[in-house]
Amino acid sequence: MGTNARAWVVCVLLGTVASACQQDEVRVKRLVLVDDAGRERAALELGTDGPHLGLFDENGKKRAVLGVGRDAALFLFDENEKKRATLGVGRDAALFLFDENEKKRATLVASKDGPAILSLLDEHEKYRAMLGADKDGPGLVLLDEGEKQRVGLNALKQHSGMVLYDEHQKMRAGLVASKDGPALQLLDETGQPLWSAP
């Protein structure tokens, strides 16, 4: 503990408010806050990758950690210290949500150079739905348990459409609505048209 920190502690213990005990700064490597029962509730420390602030509940369980290194990140935990959410900001901004088994179930990424994308995952952390939006408009992709695209939807400036795929990701049906009217096409497994309208 540095000289300034020791002086500050002495002033607090003595209840002194004299100008001699007033400090412009306190220098420590780790600062801990405790409650009336002496339980650690917050800790601010400097690690090898930057400063970290940890917050704890009344049972001493870690519930939140805020860190700043190359990127800034916030981690949130449940009452069992299971990671349930993370928020990171660097080149991109990203939010991740986890279930009670710490399996990733949802992500939201706002890219600096690309679209914003919301993704939903199943209990096996397989991507099952992805919603994105950029300057051209929004798009939705639905995937099967093998993460193969089965449905695609978009709403663009010139038209909106829906495409259906089989288990081999072959296009089997397409529906488009534009200023010229709707169009529907059905295809076989080789991609050859079976039926279309108009």
Query: Residue 193 above 90 pLDDT?
Result: yes
**Which positions ≥6 away from 42 have C-beta within 8 Å?**
32, 33, 53, 54, 55, 56
β-bridge mates for residue 138, sequence order = 133
Query: Residue 31 above 80 pLDDT?
Result: yes
39 and 103 share a domain?
A: yes
106 and 175 share a domain?
A: no
pLDDT of 11 reads 59
Question: Can you tell me the mean pLDDT for 32-60?
Answer: 95
Residue 92 belongs to a domain with what CATH number? Answer: 3.90.930.1
What residues make up the domain containing 44? 35-114
- 141: number of Cβ within 10 Å: 19
Note if the pTM is more than 0.85.
no
109 part of a folded domain: yes
132 part of a folded domain: no
pLDDT, tens only, 115-160: 899 999 999 999 999 999 998 999 999 999 999 999 999 999 899 9
153 part of a folded domain: yes
56 and 107 share a domain?
A: yes
pLDDT, tens only, 71-97: 999 999 999 999 999 999 999 999 999
